[in-house]
Structures are given as structure tokens and as C-alpha cells.
Structure 1
Amino acid sequence: MKSAVETLSPTRAKLTVEVPFEELKPSLDAAYKKIAQQINVPGFRRGKVPPSVIDRQVGRGAVLDEAINDALPKMYIEALQENSLQPLTQPEIEVTKFEDNEALEFTAEVDVKPEITLPSYDGLEAEVEAIEITDADVEEQVQALRERFATLNDVERPAAEGDFVVLDLRAKRDGEVLEGAEVSGMSYQVGRGGMLDGLDEALTGMSAGDEKTFSSQLVGGDLVGEDVDVEVAVTQVQEQELPEFDDEFAQLASEFDTAEELTADVRERLGRGKRLEQAAAARDAVLEKLLDQVEVPLPETMVTDELNARRQNIEQQLAMAGITMEKYLEDEKQTVEEFEADLDRRVREAVAAQFILDEVAKTAELGVDQNELSQHLVRRAQQSGQDPQEFANHMFEHNHIPDMVQEILRGKALAQIVESAVVKDSNGAPVELKLLLPDGTIGEPGAEGDEAAEATDEA
């Protein structure tokens, strides 16, 4: 077999392949065997029909077609390997010449991974916001903890913001109650939001036994975004009573003996979370710096596919949340054009980052062992709320393991880039990344290996 490659663009190649007829013999033999199993010829057992009889009964052309269908994928892959091409999409294959007992010629156009010249990424400089934990941050967490142990007491007064009410709701359109738009006996905190526009305003000032009708728009179902009349009836108004934040509460709500110890733990946990957030910001900032230094040609087909996938994912998430795209854009204060431009920019940056990280992993000769793959599969399963064994089985059955391996390699490459960078916070203090552990704590020197890399990946 002979092959030649023509570069159509930095991300598009055209292979021209010539295969001598004798090299097609294994595929030709396989074609005869397959057809022999499919036809019935008097005087011959199934599967034992001679090629000459198959030629008369079925036709030599059908056998040649079957042989080509078998041979083309193998010859295409062999041509890719001969020319060191890494395909990104399915090829467009065209048979340009084929006659019985003559050479097969075909062409294959395909998007390929671009060649990238990596600059040195040692010492890349980036800045992130300094970690700040205010007393207000701690108080907010303490307040949330107190609310978990709060009690609700009935009150004989109009509802105010922060109160809980037990209510019945039903939505009507043209006087008819809409199917699936009724709830009864639901507990709701006034001012919480997240249900129907206008509900909080309607509930404020209502007492037990009051009823009211207001106009709103549905946030889910077939009539999402449609104007409806909503009838709300309040059956109870309840005031939230929070427990005192003292030593007794600390012993009830935690393993600590004093409120002071509990407060210190809350502050420490906030610090760990903010360190992980800072690590994520450092990762993005360093990668952005590297992207600015590298020109990465992008295959438009791949960009378009990724754009469509992300757009569909966003629409599905909004639909599950009962939010229309129009409402989402209104809340984000974006026009459709601004949304599309921002999505296009983020997709192009993400695709470019993938190519760069793949090249870093290749250049650094990074590898993945079985333990790393197993841990990654478990994390991915937990993130998607699936059983780890079922998730792993699905990945193996659908041949997604190479994708998982590539994810791990990219995470390792990113960790290597970030850990070799010089990152400072907005106060000029160095940001510790090499010793950062997955729980947000700082490890001891010498423990920065896999765990620190995992922390950067997780962030």
C-alpha cells in the first residue's frame, strides 16, 4: 500500500491511498465467507458455497463491494499511522478508482490535530485575588447552621419576609385550572424566591385564612413562560425561632464543646474552601497566560460540534430548572448576540487548551496507571451520582476509557504547568499550589506528588 498526504490547512489533511489488488485478498476471502453464510444454494451446505458459485448466484460486484467495505477502514487507519496523523473527526472517504483485479485508489479528507510549538511555560506569572475571610462570612455560615436547628411557631399576624407560610397554590388560564399547576400544604419561606414571580409580594401581609390572586408566568411544563392567574391561600403563618449560639448549641450541632471552638472550625473550613477556589482561579489565570503565547489553529468542524453540544446542554439545564432562555438572558443582562459571542469565545479557548495540554502531556511523556484510572472513574461516578461499578462498566462497554485517560493526562499536564508558574495574590504574597491537598489544606513539604496534582485537577 502506498499513501501520500496533502495539507489542506493546518487542521485539515487529504490522504491519497493506493492498494494493490493482492493486498485485498484477506478482505475478499472474508467477503466470500460472509456471503456463503447468508445464501442458500441447492446441493451446498450453508457456509460451504464455493466462490465461483457465489459469483454466479450473487455477482462478483456484490463480493467486491463487501470486500471494499471491510478493507477501507483498515487501510485508512494504516495510512494515518504511516503519515503520523491524529484524526479529530470522521473522514470523508471517496473511492476514486477500483476495477476487478486492479489496484484500489481512494482519498480521505479529515480534520487532524494541529502541530503546536510550545513555548517554555516555566515561570509563567499570574495574579489571583487574595483570600479574605470576613466576620460576616463566618456569621453567614453560623446563621445557616442555626437555621438547620430552628423551630417554627404559629403566629397570629400577617406574614413578613423571613416567615414561613403553609399555602395552597393553583394556576388558572381562562378560568380553567391547569394540569400539574396545583400544590397544597406546601411550606414556603417568604422572600426566598425561586418559585413564581410575584409570589413573595403576594404573601407579604397575608394572614392565615387569607386568599389572593396575582398574575405571573409559569416556570415549567408545556406552558412555560405563559401568563396565568395564580390563586394563593395561606393556612398557617409561622415564625422561625433560632437557637442561641452558645456552648450548649455547639455541643448539639457539632463535635465541639464550645461556641468559640465551633466558630474557629467554621473559619478554618471557609479558608480551605477559599484556597480551593483560589487554586481554580490560579489554574485559569496560568492557562490563559499560556494561551496568549501560543497560536493554535482550530478545526471549525470541531468548534461547531462543541458549540452545538454546549448550547444544547445549557438549554437542557434551563429546561430542568424551569427557566426559558429569554429569562436567563434577561437575568444575565445579555443579548442573544452577546451570549453567542461569549459562548464561541469560551469554546475556542477550551478547544485550544485541550490541544496545548495534550502536547504538554506528550512532550513530558506523562502516563496513567491503573490506580489513577480507577480513582478517576470513581470521582466521575460520584460527580454524576452513579454507582462506580456501573459507571465503569458503561465506560468500558462504550469504549470511553481512552477519553478518561486523556482527561487524566490533561489534568496532570495542567498541574505541571500551574506548579511551575509563579502565582501571587493581589497583596503580592505567593500562592502555594504544590502542597495544596484535595481538602484545601496545605500538606507537608515532600508530599506534593499525586495528591497535590489531584487537588489542582479537582479545583
Structure 2
Amino acid sequence: MKSTVEHLSPTRVRINVEVPFDELKPNFDRAYRKLAQQIRIPGFRPGKAPARVIESRIGRAPILDEVVKEAIPTKYMEAVTAGEVRAIGSPEIEVTKIEDGDLVAFTAEVDIRPDITVPAFGELSVTVDDVELTDAEVDEQLDDLRVRFGTLTGADRPAEQGDFVSLDLSATVDGEAVTEATTTGLSYEVGSGGLVDGIDEAIIGLNAEESRTFTTSLVAGAYAGRDADVTVTVQSVKVRELPEPDDEFAAMASQFDTIGDLMADLRERLTRIKRMQQGVQARDKVLDALLEVTEVPLPEAVVTAEVDSRKHDAVHAFDHDDARFAEFLESEGKTMEEFDADVRADAEKSVKTQLILDSIAEAENLNVTDAELTERIIYQAQRFGISPDEYIKRAQESGQLGAIFADVRRGKALASVVRLATVTDASGNAVDLDELFGRPDENTAEAAAEDTAPAEDAVNK
């Protein structure tokens, strides 16, 4: 086989391939066996007719078509490997010549990862927020813990903000009952905002067994977007009583014997979370700095595919109803042109990020261990609420296992950049990022990959 590579642009090549017929003998053998199973020839059992008999029966053209169809993908990959072509995306293949008994020629145009010159990572410098923890934040965590151990008791008074009520609901649109909006015995925390607009204002001030009707716009169901008259009836009012924040509560709610020890632990946990948040901010800012100073020619076909994927996902939430999606954009104060521009910008940034990190991973000879790949699979499975085995099955079916591998590798590449960059907080102190990425010899760069992989969510479709 002979192949040559023409560079059409920094991001696209044309591969010219010529395959002599003597390399296609295995393909001809498989083609004859396949066709022999599909046709019936008198005097021969299925699959047993000789090649010359099959040719005399159906002609040479169908056999050549089958051979070429099977051979081209393999020969294309051989040409990519031989030419050290860093192909991305699907190729556009055109058969240019079939000379029976001599050769098959075809061309393949495909996008490639461009050559990228990245800056010295140590030259990147970013500033992140200080880690600041207030007493009020610690108190809020303690109150959340007290809520978990609180009890509900009946209140003989009108409902107030924060109360728990049992409700009956019914709704009508133009006098017609809305079945899906009718329920009884619904438990609801006043002010939580978990139901329709206006429900909290309607409930506040009602005693048990009292009702009120209000008008609101429905957001789902057959009457979505229509105004409905909703009647709410309060069946009971309960108030949450919280335990006192003392040593007895600390012993009940934690492994600590005193409230002081519990508060110290809450403070330590919150500080650790804030340091993680600071690390994530550093990661994002370093990535933005890297993108800003690195020139990357973008493969148009890859960007277009990313744009199409993002638009598909956006409209999918509206059952691919373009009119409903346009109404949603209008309600958000955005035009379709603005949406398209935003999607394009996000797609270009995503593709640029992937290309840069892939180049860094290759230059740094970064590999992904089985343990790192397993860690990512478990993380994603938990995120989607499925078992790791089910996640792997879906990834295989959607052809995304390679993308998951690439995501982890890109995460390691980004972690290597962040470690070498200069990261200081607003007070001028150097920031220790080991809590986010682990020490350099621990290979725990998993957290860095979370925002670098738009393909990942396709596994759950």
C-alpha cells in the first residue's frame, strides 16, 4: 500500500491511498463467503458455492463493492498510522479509482490536531480569593445539623414562613379541572419555593381547614404557560423545634462529647471545603490564562460538530420543539442570534481546551492508569445514579470509553500546568494546591478534569 499526506491547512489534511489487489485477497475471501450465504444457487448448499460460480451468478461489481467497503476503513487507519496523522473527527472518503486486478485508490480528508506551541507553565500567574471563614458560616452549619435532628410539633396558629403544612391542592384553567395539579395531603415547607409561584403568599396566614385561591402560571403539563386558578387548603400546621446546641446535642449528633469539639470540627471541615473551592478557582483561572496566551487554529468541522451537539442538547429539553425553545429564550431575555453566538463561543473554547491539553499530555508523556480510569468511571456512575457496570455498558454502546480515557488524561495535563503556575491569594500568599490535586507523586489529578470534557455527558443519553 502507498499513501501520501497533503496538508490542506493547519487543521486539515488529504490522505491519498493506493492499495494493490494482492493486499485485498483476505477481503475478497470474506466477501465471497458473505455473498455465498446471501444468495441461493441451485446445486450448492448455502455458503458452499465457489467464487467463480458466485461471480457468474451476480457479476463482478457487487463483489468489488463489498471488498472496497470492507477494506477502506482498515487501509485508512493504516495510512493514518504510517503518516503519523493526528486525526480527529470522521474522515470524508472518496474512492477515486478501481482498476480490477490492479489497484484501488481513494482519498480521505480529515481534520487533524494542529501543532501548538504552549508557553512555559511557570510564566502563568493568577490570583485567587483568600480563604475566609466567618463565625456566621460555622453557626449556619451547626443550625443545619440541628435541623436534621429537629422535631415537628403541631401549632395552633396561622401558618408562617418556615412552618411545615399539609396541603390539598386543586386547579382549573378556564373552568376546566387540571388533573395533574390536584393532590391531597402534600407536605410542604412554607417558603421553600418548591411549588408554583404564589403558593407561599397564599398559605401564610391560613389556619388549619382554611382555603385560599390565587392565580399562577403553570410551568408543566398540558396547560404549561397558561394561567390557572389554584385553590390551596391547609390541613395542618406544624413548627420545627430544634435541639439546644449543647454537649448533649453534640454527643447525639456526632462523635464528639462537647459542643466546643463539634464546632471546631465544623470549622475545620468548612476551611477544607473553602480551600478546595480556592483550588478549583485556581484551576479555572490557570486554564483561562493558558487559553489566552496560546494560539490554536481550530478545526472547523470539529467546532461545528460541537456546536450541533450543544444545540441538540438544549432543544432536547423541550422535546425538540423549536417554538417552545424560542419562547424560553424570549423569557430569558435572549434572542436566537445571541444564543447561537454564545453556543459558538463556548464550543470554540471547549475545542481549544481539548486540543491544548491533548498536546500537553502528549508532550509530557502522560498516561492513564487502570486505577485512574476506574476512579473516573465510579465518579461518573455515582453522578448519574447508576452502577459502574451500567455506566461502562452505556459508554461502550455510545462509543464514549475513549472519550472518558481522554478526559482523565486531559485532567492530568491541566493538573501539571496548575502545579507549575504561580498561584497566590488576594493577600499575596502562595496557595498550596495539594489538597485539590494531591502531591505530584500521588497521581490524584482527577478533580482537574471535571470541566474539560463536553463529550462525557453523552454517555447518559
Both structures adopt the same fold (TM-score exceeding 0.5): yes
Confirm whether residue 453 of structure 1 aligns to residue 445 of structure 2.
yes
Q: Distance in 2 between matches of 1:398 and 1:267?
A: 44
Deviation for aligned residue 1:327 = 8.9
**Are the aligned partners of 2:408 and 2:446 in contact in 1 as well (CA < 8 Å)?**
no
Query: Residue in 2 aligned with 1:84?
Result: 84
Confirm whether residue 436 of structure 1 aligns to residue 404 of structure 2.
no
Q: Distance in 2 between matches of 1:146 and 1:317?
A: 38
Q: Distance in 2 between matches of 1:452 and 1:129?
A: 24
Cα RMSD of the aligned pairs, angstroms, is 2.5
1:153-211: per-residue Cα shift (whole Å, max 9, x none)? 22232222122221111221122222322121112122111321111111122221211
Residue range with higher mean Cα deviation, 2-11 or 281-290: 2-11
Q: Distance in 1 between matches of 2:330 and 2:276?
A: 31
Query: Residue in 2 aligned with 1:230?
Result: 230
Identity %, equivalent residues = 46
Q: Distance in 1 between matches of 2:132 and 2:326?
A: 36
Query: Residue in 2 aligned with 1:410?
Result: 410
Query: Residue in 1 aligned with 2:126?
Result: 126
1:345-391: per-residue Cα shift (whole Å, max 9, x none)? 23322211111111111111111222222222222222222212333
Q: Secondary structure at the match of 2:445?
A: helix
1:251-309: per-residue Cα shift (whole Å, max 9, x none)? 11111111111111111111111111111110011111111111112223322322333
**Are the aligned partners of 1:436 and 1:448 in contact in 2 as well (CA < 8 Å)?**
no
Query: Residue in 2 aligned with 1:285?
Result: 285
Deviation for aligned residue 1:103 = 2.5
Residue range with higher mean Cα deviation, 102-111 or 250-259: 102-111
1:103-144: per-residue Cα shift (whole Å, max 9, x none)? 222222222222212222124211111111111211221121
Confirm whether residue 308 of structure 1 aligns to residue 300 of structure 2.
no
Map 1:20-31 → 2, pairs under 5 A? 20-31=20-31
Q: Secondary structure at the match of 2:88?
A: coil
**Are the aligned partners of 1:437 and 1:451 in contact in 2 as well (CA < 8 Å)?**
no
Deviation for aligned residue 1:455 = 5.0
Q: Secondary structure at the match of 2:121?
A: coil
Which residue identity does 2:59 align to in structure 1?
A: G
Cα distance change of structure 1 residues 37 and 458 upon mapping to structure 2, 3 Å threshold: closer
Query: Residue in 1 aligned with 2:162?
Result: 162
Confirm whether residue 151 of structure 1 aligns to residue 151 of structure 2.
yes
Query: Residue in 2 aligned with 1:114?
Result: 114
Residue range with higher mean Cα deviation, 262-271 or 171-180: 171-180
Q: Secondary structure at the match of 1:90?
A: strand
Query: Residue in 2 aligned with 1:295?
Result: 295
Which residue identity does 2:52 align to in structure 1?
A: S
Which residue identity does 1:59 align to in structure 2?
A: G
Deviation for aligned residue 1:457 = 4.7
Which residue identity does 1:431 align to in structure 2?
A: V
Residue range with higher mean Cα deviation, 258-267 or 327-336: 327-336
Cα distance change of structure 1 residues 259 and 327 upon mapping to structure 2, 3 Å threshold: farther
Q: Secondary structure at the match of 2:310?
A: helix
Map 1:154-233 → 2, pairs under 5 A? 154-233=154-233
Q: Distance in 2 between matches of 1:11 and 1:149?
A: 60
Instruction: Name structure 1 gaps, 5 residues minimum.
Output: none
1:311-368: per-residue Cα shift (whole Å, max 9, x none)? 444555689xxxx867976897655554443343233222111111111111111112
Q: Distance in 1 between matches of 2:53 and 2:40?
A: 11
**Are the aligned partners of 2:173 and 2:226 in contact in 1 as well (CA < 8 Å)?**
no
**Are the aligned partners of 1:251 and 1:257 in contact in 2 as well (CA < 8 Å)?**
yes
Residue range with higher mean Cα deviation, 210-219 or 422-431: 210-219
Query: Residue in 1 aligned with 2:455?
Result: none
**Are the aligned partners of 2:407 and 2:449 in contact in 1 as well (CA < 8 Å)?**
no
Deviation for aligned residue 1:148 = 1.6
Instruction: Name structure 2 gaps, 5 residues minimum.
Output: 452-461
Cα distance change of structure 1 residues 116 and 18 upon mapping to structure 2, 3 Å threshold: same
Q: Distance in 1 between matches of 2:143 and 2:283?
A: 32
Confirm whether residue 390 of structure 1 aligns to residue 382 of structure 2.
no
Query: Residue in 1 aligned with 2:457?
Result: none
Which residue identity does 1:212 align to in structure 2?
A: R
Query: Residue in 2 aligned with 1:98?
Result: 98
Cα distance change of structure 1 residues 330 and 200 upon mapping to structure 2, 3 Å threshold: farther
Q: Distance in 1 between matches of 2:271 and 2:338?
A: 35
Which residue identity does 2:80 align to in structure 1?
A: L
Query: Residue in 1 aligned with 2:456?
Result: none
**Are the aligned partners of 1:36 and 1:46 in contact in 2 as well (CA < 8 Å)?**
yes
1:214-250: per-residue Cα shift (whole Å, max 9, x none)? 1112222343322222111111122222221111111
Task: State the TM-score, normalizing by the size of structure 2.
Answer: 0.89
Deviation for aligned residue 1:44 = 2.2
**Are the aligned partners of 2:368 and 2:408 in contact in 1 as well (CA < 8 Å)?**
yes
Cα distance change of structure 1 residues 318 and 41 upon mapping to structure 2, 3 Å threshold: closer
Q: Secondary structure at the match of 1:450?
A: coil
